[in-house]
A and B are shown apart, each in its own frame.
Chain A
C-alpha cells in the first residue's frame, strides 16, 4: 500500500483568449519537445540491445548498455572551449547510472588516428566504440552555425546496427553555460538520467495512467521523464515532493503536486480535458467543417417556434404554471428520430447541421 498523497492543481484556462495563448504555448512546447520525443523509443531500443561482455569491466555491468562518451570535437573553436564542453559531457554522462558509461581516454583526433580514420563517420566511430566494447557511441561536436552562433551537434551511434540512432543540435549561448545544452542533448540521445546512487534507496515508483489512452508527455519537476503508452508510464523518481505535469497537444495541461513516500508505488490517473476550440484563429482545431444536414427552416420546431402556424398545423398547446408577469420564454424540443440524436443538447449544440 502506498503512503503517497496528492494535491491536485489542474490548470484551468477557461477563456477563449487564454485558450488561444495556451495553444500558442502548446505549439512552442511541442516544438521543443519534438526533439525530445525520440528519447523514449531510443530508451526502449537500448533495453533491447544485446549485451556484449567482451571484457571484465563490461561483464560486471552485464545488465547495462555500454555507452562510450567521446571527447568533444571542435571545428573553428578554441581548444579551451572544446575541453570545457568535454568536461561537461563527461560529468553529465556519469549521471546515467542505468547505463554503463565509459569515457574515451584520448582526444577524438587521436582515437581516429589509431584507426586511420579521416572522418568521424559511422564506420570510424563504430571501430572506436568496438575498441571500448561499447554498444553505443556518443559523438559531440562544438561548432558555429553560418550566422556565427555556437552550437553543439550531437549524435549517438548504434554499433550493432551500424547507423546513427539519434541526433540533435543544441544551441549554445556561451561555452561557460554549456551544462544545459549538454544535458538536453544527452536526454535526446540517451533518455532521462536515473537518480544518483546515493538516493537509490529513497526512490518511489510513479505510475501515470492516461484515461482515454493516447500519448502524453510526463514531466516531473519540469523535467521530461517519458511519455505515456497504452499501459501508461511507469518510472522511478526520488521520494519526496514533486510537481507532476502531463502535456498533450490539444488538451489542457494537467499538473499536480505529489508527495511520494520512499518505496511507494504511486499511481496517478490523469484525465486531460480537451481544449476549447477557438473559432477562426487559424490554428489546428478551428471549426469550419461543412454541414451534413438540412437547414433549420426544414425543422419542425423552427416553424412551430414561430407560433403563427402552430394552430394551423394542428399543434396542441398547453399553458402551465406561469404567472402573468413572467420573464422571457425559452424553448426545449424533443425528438425520437434516430437521425437527430447527434443534435442532442448534451452535445452542446456544436454539431454541424
Chain B
C-alpha cells in the first residue's frame, strides 16, 4: 500500500503538536520551578521568560572520568550561550581535573529559573590551553522549595571530544536489561521503568532511545539542513519496513538545538507526505526548501548485494496523489516556538531526484529546480527531464511559474550540484550540474547562468568519469571543489540491484568560468593508505563541510557493500587530515554543520542512516553523533 501523497491541510494545536514525550516533559516541568524548556513545542530554553519564585542550589560534579583530561574550566550562564563573549554568571576558572569524585562544586542561592546553561571545557594540560573535551547543556532549571526529587536526577551534559565522533546520550545497559525482563502488551506497561520505554515486538519492554537527549525517530536516508540560527533540522527518512518496502517516518522533523544541546521533534503544518531522500536547500529567512524525495522505497542489504529501488507502484497515473515519489516543491519553516508550517507547489507529476540550488536572478532570489526523472523508471525509455524551473519562495507561498520549462542540455536525475559563482552580496549567480545523465553521449557537466537565464555546456578535461551519479560538492578555494560520494551506478533508478558499490573516487574539480565555455578539470584524489581500503570511494556516505573548508565524510558502503565504521576528514586541499573511528557503521546518513556562535557552533551533526542490526537486517538509526573540530 502506498503512503498517499497529500496536499491537504494539517491542523495543529497545542495538544496535537506535543511530542511523544510530552508526558515526560510536563512531568518534569511539574517538578521544576518554572516553565518547561524541553517540550518540543514549548518555548526554546534560551528564549523563554523564566519565573523567579525562590532560590535554589546548583550542584556540579564532574562524574564520569574523561581520559586525558588534566584540567577543566566550568562556567554557568543565565540563559543559553549564543556567543563566546557572553558573560557567565559564574566562571570557576581553570581547575585541576581529578576524575570521578574530586571535583564537586556548588553554587548556592541561585534565583529559581529554568534557563541556566552550563559550559564545561576540559583540557589536556593543567594550564587549560589544550582543549580536549567540551560539554554543554542549556535549559537547566534551578528550583526552589523541596528539591529532593530533582537532585536524584542530575542534568546530563552532552560531551564531545574534539576531532572525534561523539555520541549523545546512551541507554544504560542495566536499564535495558531491566526493561527486557518485563513482559508487556502495550507501551504503558513499560512506563514504570522509564518514560521512554516501549513495548517491543517480542512483548518485552525496551528503551530504544533517550530522546530528547538523542534522536527519537529512526531514519534511513533522511535529509538535514543547517538553519541560520544554529539549529540543524533532520527531515524525513525511511523508518518502517512493511511488505518489503520502507516507509518514511511520520515524525517529519527533529531539530538539534545547540542552545540546549537537545533534540526537539516538530510537526509541520501542510508538509505533505513524509519523505526520504529529499534535497533540503537552505533558503533565506530561516526556511528551507524540500525538493524531490519519496515516501516509500525498497532498501535491502545482504552480503555483496544492495537492493535500492523506488516504490513506483502507484505512479503511472500522474497526479493521482498516490505515487510515493514527491509531486511538489515545498518551503518549510521550522519554528523555535509556535507553529511550524510548509507551503507546497504542485508540480502536477511525480519527479524523482531533481537537482535544487538557490540562485540570484535579475528578478531576485529563486530556487532552481532542474531535471529529475519521471516515474516509473523505464529501462528502454529515458524519462529524465531536460528542463528546469525557477521557484520564488517567500513567507506565504512558493510558486514555480516564472520559468517552467527552461531547456537544459541533457536530461539529468540525481545530478550533483554546486554554486560556482557569486555576486557581491554572496548570491549564487552560476550553478553547475554534474552527471546524472543516462548516457555518456550527453554532456557530463552544464552550467546555469542566472543572469542569462540559460544553460551552457561545460568542457570537461582531465580525468572525468564516464558515469557519475549523486555525490556532493564542497567549495575548497577559488574555483576548487571536492566531489565526494558519487557513484557510477544509477542507484534507485535503472540500477536497482548492485553487486559492487560502483563508488567513484573523491574528485578535486577546478572550475574556470572566465572563458565563454566554462572548463571543468577533473582530478581523482589518492588519499593514501591512511584512508583505509575504500580510499574514499564510498556509496551513500554522509558528507559535511566544516567552517575551515575541511570536509568530513562519514560512513557509507565500501566496494564490497559493507557499512563503514569510520569517517575521513579531508583538508581543503584534498589531503587526508584524519581517519576517525565512528561509533556506528552506517550508510545513508546525513550531516550538517551547526551555524551561529554558540559553544557547539562549527560542530557537525550526524544523523540517521542504516546499520546492520544484530540479526543482520537493516536497522534505521536514531542515534545522533556530534563531530567538533579542534577549536
A residues whose Cβ falls under 8 Å from a Cβ of B: 1-2, 4-6, 8, 10, 12, 207, 209-213, 229-232, 234, 249-250, 254, 256, 264-271, 273-277, 284-293, 296, 299-302, 304-305, 310, 313-322, 326-353
**Do A340 and B154 touch (CB < 8 A)?**
yes
A289 to B159, CA, bound (A): 30
Contact of A342 (CB < 8 Å), options: B7, B19, B149, B207: B207
Instruction: Note all chain B residues with C-beta closer than 8 A to A346.
Output: 21, 24-25, 28, 38, 212-213, 262
List 5 tightest A-B contacts by C-beta distance, closest first.
A287-B192, A322-B109, A285-B188, A348-B27, A337-B64
Minimum C-beta distance from A141 to chain B (A): 34
**Do B250 and A266 touch (CB < 8 A)?**
no
**Do A332 and B20 touch (CB < 8 A)?**
no
Instruction: Note all chain B residues with C-beta closer than 8 A to A10.
Output: 13, 15-16
Instruction: Find residues 178-192 in chain B having any chain A CB closer than 8 Å to their own CB.
Output: 178-179, 181-182, 185-192
**Do B110 and A277 touch (CB < 8 A)?**
no
Minimum C-beta distance from B418 to chain A (A): 35
Interface flags, B17-38, vs A, CB<8A=1, else 0:
1111111111110111100001
19 A-B Cβ contacts within 8 A? A12-B15, A211-B267, A265-B7, A274-B191, A301-B152, A320-B90, A320-B109, A327-B145, A329-B54, A329-B108, A330-B57, A333-B60, A334-B59, A336-B159, A340-B172, A342-B207, A345-B141, A347-B153, A348-B28
Instruction: Note all chain A residues with C-beta closer than 8 A to B13.
Output: 8, 10
A210 to B249, CA, bound (A): 11
Minimum C-beta distance from B192 to chain A (A): 3
Minimum C-beta distance from B59 to chain A (A): 5
Instruction: Note all chain A residues with C-beta closer than 8 A to B406.
Output: none
Instruction: Note all chain B residues with C-beta closer than 8 A to A264.
Output: 8
**Do B191 and A331 touch (CB < 8 A)?**
no
Minimum C-beta distance from A46 to chain B (A): 15
Given contacts A329-B56, A329-B108, A346-B213, whether A339 and B64 have CB atoms under 8 Å apart is yes
**Do A351 and B59 touch (CB < 8 A)?**
no
Instruction: Note all chain B residues with C-beta closer than 8 A to A351.
Output: 153, 175, 193-195
Is residue B486 within 8 Å, beta carbon to beta carbon, of the partner chain? no
Q: Which B residue sits closest to A346, measured CB to CB? A: B38
Which of B99-107, B329-337, B424-432 binds A?
B99-107
Minimum C-beta distance from A320 to chain B (A): 6
Interface flags, B473-516, vs A, CB<8A=1, else 0:
00000000000000000000000000000000000000000000
**Do B104 and A300 touch (CB < 8 A)?**
yes
Further 4 A-B residue pairs, CB within 8 A, beyond A232-B250, A320-B108, A330-B145: A231-B4, A273-B18, A289-B182, A342-B169
Contact of A330 (CB < 8 Å), options: B102, B137, B144, B181: B144
Minimum C-beta distance from A337 to chain B (A): 3
Q: Which A residue sits closest to B139, measured CB to CB? A: A346
**Do B108 and A318 touch (CB < 8 A)?**
yes
Instruction: Note all chain A residues with C-beta closer than 8 A to B422.
Output: none
Instruction: Note all chain B residues with C-beta closer than 8 A to A291.
Output: 178
Instruction: Note all chain B residues with C-beta closer than 8 A to A319.
Output: 107-109
Instruction: Note all chain A residues with C-beta closer than 8 A to B10.
Output: 267-269
Instruction: Find residues 115-166 in chain B having any chain A CB closer than 8 Å to their own CB.
Output: 116, 118, 120, 135, 137, 140-157, 159
Minimum C-beta distance from A301 to chain B (A): 5
**Do B59 and A8 touch (CB < 8 A)?**
no
Minimum C-beta distance from B143 to chain A (A): 4
Interface flags, B300-320, vs A, CB<8A=1, else 0:
000000000000000000000
B residues whose Cβ falls under 8 Å from a Cβ of A: 1-4, 6-13, 15-28, 30-33, 38, 54-64, 66, 89-90, 92, 101-102, 104-112, 116, 118, 120, 135, 137, 140-157, 159, 167, 169-172, 174-175, 177-179, 181-182, 185-196, 205, 207, 210, 212-213, 239-240, 242, 247, 250-251, 262, 267, 321
**Do A322 and B58 touch (CB < 8 A)?**
no
Question: Which of A234, A304, A336 is most buried by chain B, counting CB atoms within 10 A of its CB?
Answer: A336
A329 to B1, CA, bound (A): 58
Q: Which A residue sits closest to B135, measured CB to CB? A: A336
A350 to B102, CA, bound (A): 28
Minimum C-beta distance from A288 to chain B (A): 6
**Do B112 and A330 touch (CB < 8 A)?**
yes
Given contacts A277-B191, A321-B111, whether A329 and B59 have CB atoms under 8 Å apart is no
Given contacts A234-B4, A342-B210, whether A304 and B61 have CB atoms under 8 Å apart is yes
Given contacts A6-B9, A265-B7, A289-B193, whether A335 and B33 have CB atoms under 8 Å apart is no
**Do A338 and B64 touch (CB < 8 A)?**
yes
**Do A274 and B135 touch (CB < 8 A)?**
no
A234 to B153, CA, bound (A): 44
**Do A331 and B54 touch (CB < 8 A)?**
no
A296 to B154, CA, bound (A): 12
Given contacts A271-B15, A318-B108, whether A292 and B61 have CB atoms under 8 Å apart is no
Minimum C-beta distance from B4 to chain A (A): 6
**Do B11 and A342 touch (CB < 8 A)?**
no
A300 to B193, CA, bound (A): 23
A52 to B141, CA, bound (A): 69
Instruction: Note all chain A residues with C-beta closer than 8 A to B146.
Output: 328, 330
A231 to B242, CA, bound (A): 10
Q: Which B residue sits closest to A7, measured CB to CB? A: B11
A349 to B38, CA, bound (A): 14
Contact of A331 (CB < 8 Å), options: B15, B56, B185, B240: B56
A320 to B109, CA, bound (A): 5
**Do A6 and B11 touch (CB < 8 A)?**
yes
**Do A348 and B25 touch (CB < 8 A)?**
yes
Instruction: Note all chain B residues with C-beta closer than 8 A to A207.
Output: 4, 6, 8
Minimum C-beta distance from B96 to chain A (A): 11
A8 to B140, CA, bound (A): 32
**Do B192 and A277 touch (CB < 8 A)?**
yes
A322 to B108, CA, bound (A): 8
**Do B187 and A274 touch (CB < 8 A)?**
yes
Contact of A273 (CB < 8 Å), options: B22, B141, B174: B22
**Do A329 and B147 touch (CB < 8 A)?**
yes
A352 to B143, CA, bound (A): 22
Instruction: Note all chain A residues with C-beta closer than 8 A to B20.
Output: 211-212, 274
A10 to B141, CA, bound (A): 29
A172 to B229, CA, bound (A): 64
Contact of B147 (CB < 8 Å), options: A6, A270, A318, A332: A332
Instruction: Note all chain A residues with C-beta closer than 8 A to B155.
Output: 332-335, 344-345
A347 to B239, CA, bound (A): 24
**Do A329 and B57 touch (CB < 8 A)?**
yes
A256 to B12, CA, bound (A): 11
Minimum C-beta distance from B219 to chain A (A): 13
